Amino acid sequence: MIHKGIEFSVTQVAVGVWKWRFQIGERDFTGKTEAKLNLLAIRRVQLRIDRELKKIQQDQAR
């Protein structure tokens, strides 16, 4: 899947547990989230991507 130009993946590893991964530049981000619905897990990853992109933008503005 792609969100704001960042490719990411979300995979169910157990009932209600999802593993996610994305890369921005040279940096990899991985983690797990608990959610009953895959769409909720996807949304959480999209929000994390938004936060990381915002951090990068703020660092470049300094």
pLDDT tens-digit profile of 2-23? 999 999 999 999 999 999 999 9
Dihedral pair phi/psi, residue 36, rounded to 5°: -75, -30
Q: Does the pLDDT at position 62 exceed 90?
A: no
Task: Encode burial over 14-45: b for 16+ CB neighbours within 10 A, e otherwise.
Answer: eeeebebebeeeeeeeeeebebeeeeebbebb
User: For the chain, what is the domain count?
Assistant: 1
Domain containing residue 23: 2-61
Predicted pLDDT of residue 61: 84
- pLDDT above 90 coverage of the chain, percent: 94
pTM for this entry: 0.92
